[in-house]
Chain A
Amino acid sequence: QQQVKQSPQSLIVQKGGISIINCAYENTAFDYFPWYQQFPGKGPALLIAIRPDVSEKKEGRFTISFNKSAKQFSLHIMDSQPGDSATYFCAASKARDDKIIFGKGTRLHILP
């Protein structure tokens, strides 16, 4: 039973384009939704996170859109750059919980 479903599995985007990765969750008790970025040979690192009291959060070229009623959230990368090529994981957790549930990851490749 997969609590956080992520799509697509892989994504190829031209430099300067918009990269969009989607996630859906099942547990309405989740109240923290981070996105992690992982470069080859490295550990995942927090990129941006959102709580369900807002519908959008933007940090530079990275934006999370959150739809509480649909139980969906997405990551948008504007003006995608070759340096953004990495694996991206969406995740969800409950505030008082020590466990983060990760999606299966999206391998993003930005063409130069």
Chain B
Amino acid sequence: DTAVSQTPKYLVTQMGNDKSIKCEQNLGHDTMYWYKQDSKKFLKIMFSYNNKELIINETVPNRFSPKSPDKAHLNLHINSLELGDSAVYFCASSRRAAQGRETQYFGPGTRLLVL
């Protein structure tokens, strides 16, 4: 009954490879996000999708491409991985309410290490 789940939990790969991270939420939320957390714990939003439509696209290299096949899923594909991509990637979801945005629920994170 996990609310926001991510796979894989750990990802170790060589520089230059292409990899994907998957995220699923079973909360019935309409908005999903990808965040990057660096070694200093700084949380930076990367993308947000609302009802499968891209609504936030921060300054992220175009090697990163999100895909939302449906409201419950948001995947992140990364091409030509670089050392600087090593970080923890969090998926989150939330719902729009009449009074505004509700709480964001975060997944457990995917720890990416690029060698």
Contacts and interface: CB of A to CB of B under 8 A. Distances in A.
* Chain B: interface size category: 20 to 34
B43 A99 contact: no
A95 B109 contact: no
Interface of A: 31-32, 34, 38, 41-46, 49, 87, 89, 93-100, 102, 104-105, 107
Given A43-B90, A44-B106, A95 B100 contact: yes
A98 B101 contact: yes
B106 A45 contact: yes
Given A44-B90, A102-B43, A49 B103 contact: yes
B90 A99 contact: no
Contact of A87 (B41, B44, B56, B96): B41
**A interface: dominant SS:** loop
B40 A43 contact: no
Interface of B: 4, 31, 40-45, 48, 50, 55-56, 90, 92, 94, 96, 99-101, 103-109
Contact of A98 (B56, B107, B108): B56
Nearest to B4: A43
The interface centre, meaning the residue of B4, B31, B40 with most chain A CB atoms within 10 A of its CB, is B40
Contacts of A94: 100
